[in-house]
Amino acid sequence: MASIAEYYKTDIAFESDYLRTATGDIDTISGIENLRQALFHRLITTPGTLIHRPGYGVGIKDFIGAPMNVTNKIEIASRIEEQLLLDDRFEQLLGVSFSVPNNNPELLEIVVRVKPRGYDEQQFQFTPFGEAS
């Protein structure tokens, strides 16, 4: 069985651009924050866009401009669950919920509650579309 460190590994830190260290090197991210970043990348990646991993991605961009009705929320939650089952760093998906932060209808926040391997329950919040222009 792999150790916790082997499950979470290290990756390049990326938000809207690569993050840099004080010396100018590209920063890295490890542990639970790496898992959070990996989940965000899964959310925003459209299936079929990575040649070497055609089934990778939730495809949240498919829902830009779509109403956040019950049908679409169920579809998004189902896609998230399907993707988490492919990643053995997650033991369990505990829930997916949606909210509108600060009563701003231009924003959508997706809250994913998970049980990562070797950790207690974690809650990750994502605003994948940012502010609408």
pLDDT, averaged across the chain:
84
Residue 36's nearest CA partner among 84, 73, 78, 72 is 84
Confidence of residue 74 (pLDDT cuts 50, 70, 90): very high
Give the per-residue pLDDT at 51: 94
Give the per-residue pLDDT at 111: 93
Q: Cα–Cα distances in Å, from 23 out to 20, 27, 45, 70, 121? A: 8, 10, 31, 48, 35
Q: How many CB atoms lie within 10 A of CB 56?
A: 17
CA atoms within 13 A on the CB side of 42: 20
Residue-wise pLDDT tens digits, 94-120: 999 998 777 776 678 899 999 998 889
Residue-wise pLDDT tens digits, 46-67: 999 999 999 999 999 898 888 8
Give the per-residue pLDDT at 132: 42
Q: CATH for 4-126, among 3.40.718.10, 3.40.50.300, 3.60.10.10, 3.10.450.40?
A: 3.10.450.40
Residue-wise pLDDT tens digits, 28-43: 788 888 888 889 889 9
CB contact at 8 A, 110 and 84: no
The percentage of residues in the chain with a pLDDT greater than 70, rounded to a whole number, is 86
Boundaries of every domain in the chain:
4-126
Give the per-residue pLDDT at 6: 64
